[in-house]
Amino acid sequence: MGSREESHGRRSQSLPEVLVLEPPPVFKFHGDRLSEKFVFLKAWESPLPLEQFLIVHAQSVRALLLSGTYRLTADILRLLPSLKLIFTTSAGLNHIDLPACHKQGISVAGAGSLHSEDVADLAVGLLIDVLRKISAADRYARRGLWVSNGDFPLGFKLRGKQVGIVGLGTIGSQVAERLEAFGCNIMYTSRKEKPSVPYRFYSNVCQLASDSNILIICCALTDQTHHLINKEVLQALGKEGIVINVARGPIIDEQAMVRCLVQGEIGGAGMDVFEKEPDVPKELFALDNVVLSPHRAVHCQETLMDLCDLVVGNLEAFFSNKHLLTPVMMNQ
């Protein structure tokens, strides 16, 4: 028994160390597999305050596995002078202080387009749910209201709807492809017009909303897109308009959206993300024209397995001085 433990100890000592500040879903589901390749320094399990924990490991930590929701600031990075790689399990980068990474010579790798299909699928799923009132109808049937109150109210069809997509990147393009198959008319706004696509381009998001029945948010969160979808845009969308957000919560002015929904100034919403997660505005709970999802668009069993492969591949490449598989920012 002792020799087995000694062997395990020697093997662990020979494995590269990787810092984890909080456990991302890939770590929760595939931690055993990942731990066969690396020694993970789990900050959340330490009795030490975070700053002291980082100081203890400051000279040895060269790689960090980061969840897509953990805010990585310059103050934290300054405590890690040996850090040279951050792998984030998300496609978005708004939670990382990229200028600080550049200043310290830290490279960043991410999930790339791995999650795009799943996010696009959920965007369409949320939309169909809001239009056809699937979740609301489920509650109606479960509560026995079909018997006592009669037929459930009518929903709306998807075919023929004017759909405005905010951000025609990889995810936005896949949403567009799916909704084209449903017979929707696609329009979009993006940082730049894309001459290769057949959809009508709008430089003004308010005008896009005015011409749309449905507005789907797929863009990255930046200083420019923070509260891009404000009261004016929502009112332009109109009383029958629906907004779907599978991007980042703060892209929508959440207070303005809640007021518009409560006052009937827009027709409905499907939300996978929120401004102050995991807090969800309680006013939304009673609204049958709102479908809520707890930031799960990227979390599928198959994709988490693929993400595990991507984590291993990037970390192995880094520790072997090879090219990263999915680099976002190279500073080496």
Catalytic center residues:
248, 277, 295
Contacts of 234 (CB under 8 A, 6+ apart): 209, 241, 243, 256, 257, 260, 265, 266
Contacts of 253 by beta carbon, 8 Å cutoff, 6+ apart: 227, 229, 230, 231
Give the orientation angle of helix 134-142 with respect to helix 116-132, to 10 degrees. 60
Closest alpha carbon to 283 in 309, 263, 298? 263
**The token pair that represents 215 in the structure block:** 């507005």
Report residue 317 CA to chain centroid gap.
25
Cβ contacts of residue 23 below 8 Å, gap of 6+? 31, 42, 44, 67
Distance CA 61, CA 41 (A): 9
Q: Which residues of 149-184 are buried (b: 16+ CB within 10 A; e: fewer)?
A: eeeeeebeebeebbbbbbbbbbbbbbbbebbeeeeb
**CA gap 242, 265 in Å, rounded:** 10
Could you tell me if 133 and 267 are in contact, meaning their C-beta atoms sit under 8 angstroms apart? no
3-state secondary structure of 169: coil
Q: Where does 36-110 have alpha helices with state H? A: 50-56, 74-78, 98-104
- Report whether 227 contacts 166 (CB < 8 A): no
Q: What is the distance between the alpha carbons of residues 322 and 37, in angstroms, rounded to a whole number?
A: 16
Rg over CA atoms, the chain? 23
Q: Check: CB of residue 74 under 8 Å from CB of residue 97.
A: yes
